[in-house]
Amino acid sequence: MTVIAYGNGPTASRLAVQSFDRLRTQLNGFQSQLSTGKVATTVAGLGIQGSVSLGLGSTASRLEAYQGNAQDASLRSQLIGTGLQQLDALGSKLASGLTDTVNLPIGRKYVVDTARGSFEQAVDILNSSLGDRYLFSGRATDTRPVLDSDLLLNGDAQRAGVKTLIDERTQADLGTAGLGRLTLASAGTTTTVSEEAYGLPFGVKIAGIAATGAGLAATFTAGAAGSAGPPAVPATPASAAIDVTGTPVDGDAVTYTFTLPDGTTGTLTLSAGAAPADGADGAFAIGATPAATSANLTAALQTALQTFVTNTVPGASAAKAADDFFAARPGAPPPRVDTSGGSAAAATAIVSGTAANTVIWYQGDDGPPSAARGTNPARLGDNQTIGIGAQANEAPFRALLAGFAVLAVQDPAPATPPPDDQTLALLDRARTRLTGQTSGTAVRDLAGEFSLAKGTADAAAQQLSQAIKHVGDSQAAIENADPTEAASKLIQTQTRLQAAYQTTSTILRLSLVDYL
């Protein structure tokens, strides 16, 4: 007889123990599912679905980051848009109130005070922030973009503000004779208006002359730079000459076209007639001879030219100086009138201001204002980005501030009020800046851009919310345990485990005699 030392008895015992261990592990797993609500506490416990769950988790994190960007972009766009609406309202309100009533003392003071208050509010809006990030500073979100309003207008002991620049520019454009750096001369029957010097950066420029009627002949001569020679040719300023070649009739006229310091144009017309030869009503008297008529025309032109310059140049000079002041940025101070040779009225050159002698109003991002939106891109998806950056030195803001400034620095109650036409010319230039006509884009147009950006961000946030929910549901289907199913399996496993206990106990009590 053959005796097998390790036969079916030991093997069965070992298999029973292994089965018991597996059931106990399963039981612990189902108990964990019921207590935690999760299929497994580790990725490995999910089996082949573990990598899928990891991928879904990564996708959810990316979508949540985009959702955060969209929500931030929506809030930022809303705040900027609200600020732009307020700026537009300030400009529109003042522009609509610029009527000829400001010529009255109370009206003039109202406009100046309103402009000053509006300027201060505009500066505050452009300095608004979201948390610790300034909204109108481009990439330099930690830098306050605009200096204090009073400093911008009045400067300080060392630096000139926009008021000083306007005063200097107005004096330089008017000139010592008050004729806008023009000269008037007559010889025989010819009257000539000339620019003071070729290439002079100040004053009124002659753009053309035209005459109607057989008795008047007009000649325009463009300026020339001259040359060093040899032979040397002196520079020649532009000029416009009118020659009385015969006897004009009533209605014959001469019209001068001028370019003003801010780039706008103005015309001056003198008509022949029986009116007094003072030029006040734009007429010159027809004399008995061409020489007498020419003398009358010269006298009338002297008065009319003085009136034209007085009425138009101060407003144009103020607008030009304000535009230059607000076109400056940290790396490019505004230009200044060179007064090193004496008074501003006699100045012949422009020099660059410096940070030491001129207020640099804008302190934010020094990048090009035209690229302001790109200074704060918001990524809303793998292939979707919107620009919500803003800079206080964008063209519509500069124009608006210049419109406020040219009025805010005026004397609200001058001892000698300026002529009505001069005031109206100033108001007209302020109005074009307050309404965005000079910048090409109004503040309300920018408000529309940010309104659209907010709508895009809100739509993206909603879509992302739905996508996040879908990914979350898919991940939950893998990771979350079904409590009913887990409880059922737990009961089944407990039953099987009890049977395994009994089987294992029986096997462990077997002896060799029982086995044989």
- Mean pLDDT on 182-198: 97
- Mean pLDDT on 350-367: 94
Q: Calculate the average pLDDT of the chain.
A: 85
Q: Tell me what pLDDT residue 226 has.
A: 82
C-alpha 95/C-alpha 405 separation (Å) is 13
In a domain, 492, yes or no: no
Q: Tell me the per-residue pLDDT of 118-135, one tens digit each, with 9 for 90 and over.
A: 999 999 999 999 989 999
Quick check: 43 pLDDT over 80?
no
- Mean pLDDT on 465-479: 71
Q: Tell me what pLDDT residue 195 has.
A: 97
Comparing 19-28, 238-247, 418-427, 494-503, the range with the smallest average pLDDT is: 19-28
Q: Tell me what pLDDT residue 4 has.
A: 43
Quick check: 101 pLDDT over 80?
no
DSSP lists the bridge partners of residue 182 as 195
Q: Tell me what pLDDT residue 507 has.
A: 59
C-alpha 459/C-alpha 386 separation (Å) is 12
Q: Tell me the per-residue pLDDT of 304-313, one tens digit each, with 9 for 90 and over.
A: 999 999 999 9
Quick check: 45 pLDDT over 80?
no
DSSP reduced 3-state for 138: coil
Instruction: Name the band, by pLDDT with cuts 50, 70 and 90, for residue 513.
Output: low
Comparing 241-245, 333-337, 486-490, 512-516, the range with the smallest average pLDDT is: 512-516
Q: What proportion of the chain, given as a percentage, has pLDDT over 70? A: 78
Q: Tell me what pLDDT residue 1 has.
A: 43
Distances from the Cα of 83 to the Cα of 135, 159, 491, angstroms: 10, 29, 66
Comparing 34-38, 163-167, 411-415, the range with the smallest average pLDDT is: 34-38
Provide the b/e sequence for 335-356 (b: ≥16 CB within 10 Å): bbbbbeeeebbebeeeeebeee
The answer to whether 244 touches 206, Cβ cutoff 8 Å, is no
Same domain for 135 and 192, yes or no, is no
In a domain, 160, yes or no: no
In a domain, 500, yes or no: no
C-alpha 255/C-alpha 271 separation (Å) is 9
Quick check: 5 pLDDT over 50?
no
Same domain for 139 and 209, yes or no, is no
Number of domains in the chain: 2
Which run of H or E residues covers position 184?
strand 182-187
DSSP reduced 3-state for 297: helix
Higher pLDDT pick, 24 / 221: 221
DSSP lists the bridge partners of residue 53 as none
Last residue of a domain, one of 309, 326, 347: 309
Q: Tell me what pLDDT residue 277 has.
A: 45
Q: Tell me the per-residue pLDDT of 283-292, one tens digit each, with 9 for 90 and over.
A: 899 999 999 9
Quick check: 399 pLDDT over 60?
yes
Q: Which domain holds residue 257?
A: 182-309
- Mean pLDDT on 334-350: 94
Same domain for 289 and 378, yes or no, is no
Same domain for 381 and 457, yes or no, is yes
Q: Tell me what pLDDT residue 2 has.
A: 46
C-alpha 68/C-alpha 10 separation (Å) is 64
Same domain for 108 and 216, yes or no, is no
AA identity, residue 194: S
Comparing 159-168, 272-281, 295-304, 429-438, the range with the smallest average pLDDT is: 272-281
Q: Tell me the per-residue pLDDT of 315-329, one tens digit each, with 9 for 90 and over.
A: 999 999 999 999 998
In a domain, 271, yes or no: yes
Same domain for 211 and 290, yes or no, is yes
Rounded to 10°, the helix 395-408/420-434 angle is 150
Same domain for 460 and 374, yes or no, is yes
C-alpha 14/C-alpha 93 separation (Å) is 95
- Mean pLDDT on 275-290: 74
Q: Tell me the per-residue pLDDT of 55-75, one tens digit each, with 9 for 90 and over.
A: 666 777 888 898 999 999 999
Same domain for 193 and 301, yes or no, is yes
Q: Tell me what pLDDT residue 506 has.
A: 65
Q: Tell me what pLDDT residue 279 has.
A: 43
Q: In this structure, what CATH number is given to the domain that contains residue 103?
A: 1.20.1330.10
Q: Tell me what pLDDT residue 490 has.
A: 54
Q: Tell me the per-residue pLDDT of 83-93, one tens digit each, with 9 for 90 and over.
A: 999 999 999 99
In a domain, 515, yes or no: no
In a domain, 192, yes or no: yes
C-alpha 105/C-alpha 379 separation (Å) is 55
- Mean pLDDT on 152-173: 97
Quick check: 24 pLDDT over 80?
no
Most distant CA pair in the chain: distance in Å? 166
Which residues, in sequence order, are CB contacts of 387 under 8 Å at separation 6+?
373, 374, 375, 376, 377, 378, 453
Same domain for 383 and 434, yes or no, is yes
Same domain for 187 and 302, yes or no, is yes
In a domain, 340, yes or no: no
Last residue of a domain, one of 309, 330, 346: 309
In a domain, 150, yes or no: no
Q: Could you say which DSSP state residue 260 is in?
A: -
Q: Tell me what pLDDT residue 174 has.
A: 98
Q: Measure the CA dihedral 139/155/91/89, to 10°.
A: 60
Q: Tell me what pLDDT residue 328 has.
A: 94
Pure H helices in 341-442: 395-408, 420-434
Same domain for 295 and 381, yes or no, is no
Higher pLDDT pick, 510 / 356: 356
Same domain for 403 and 286, yes or no, is no
DSSP lists the bridge partners of residue 134 as 129
